[in-house]
Amino acid sequence: MASKFKYIICLDFEATCWEERDSENAEIIEFGALLLNLQSGEIDSEFHEYVQPTYRPILSEYCISLTGITQVLIDAQAKYPVVYNKFVTWLEKICDVYQLKMAMPNTRTTSYGINTAFCSWTNWDLGHYLRIDCTRHGINPKPYLKTWIDARKIFERKHPGRYTFQEALDFISIKQTGNAHSAIDDARTLAKMVLNLYRSGAEFHKVTDWKNY
């Protein structure tokens, strides 16, 4: 039987957006991630950074209204390669401090010694946004950034149906932390959902990756 992960790295990205859907031209403008200890229920570490977009640097009014991120705020931030490297540095630090071993792209279930994986609501964060931005900036992402758990699949396996993030929260009576469409607040809210699912018996052991979603 596959063992369960002891930690989950909940993450959420916010990206540039427009009223007309154009996800291929979207750029990450906010990283939010945290290390959730499934045994204690505590958040042991967090990462939060904004990113200055380079391809389409002027935020749309729709994006500003949705995310609360202003042009003044975003203009003062580092660009994607710098923030990506900060993110990797944070990941390497928590791996060292907490003795973490991350699931890799060929890890379909946990094996001995692997005790953590990324988790996001749907496949878009690592499967789409990070992938596109890394390609745009000529970055070959770390292999472990190509592997994650889709929390929506876990939720819908536990509670059959089709849900938006907010609908899923309402179904299990969890309140949004902070502001919706804030990457760090959504990551914190996702952590509450993950913990609720884990404690109710949901299995967090299967991962997907760039080739399998």
- With respect to residue 161, please indicate whether it lies within any of the assigned structural domains: yes
pLDDT single digits (tens) 132-155: 999 999 999 999 999 999 999 999
CA 75 to chain centre: 23
- With respect to residue 199, please indicate whether it lies within any of the assigned structural domains: yes
Based on the structure, what is the number of domains in the chain? 1
Q: Whole-model pTM above 0.75?
A: yes
Report the run of H or E that residue 188 belongs to, with start and end: helix 183-199
- With respect to residue 2, please indicate whether it lies within any of the assigned structural domains: no
- With respect to residue 138, please indicate whether it lies within any of the assigned structural domains: yes
132: number of Cβ within 10 Å: 18
- With respect to residue 200, please indicate whether it lies within any of the assigned structural domains: yes
- Confirm if 144 and 103 have CB atoms less than 8 A apart: yes
Report the run of H or E that residue 148 belongs to, with start and end: strand 147-150
Q: Is 42 helix (H, G, I), strand (E, B) or coil?
A: coil
What residues contact residue 199 under an 8 Å CB cut-off, 6+ apart? none
- With respect to residue 145, please indicate whether it lies within any of the assigned structural domains: yes
- With respect to residue 1, please indicate whether it lies within any of the assigned structural domains: no
The CATH number of whichever domain residue 172 belongs to comes to: 3.30.420.10
pLDDT single digits (tens) 88-145: 999 999 999 999 999 999 888 877 789 999 999 999 999 999 999 999 999 999 999 9
Domain limits at 103?
7-209
Catalytic residues: 14, 181
- With respect to residue 77, please indicate whether it lies within any of the assigned structural domains: yes
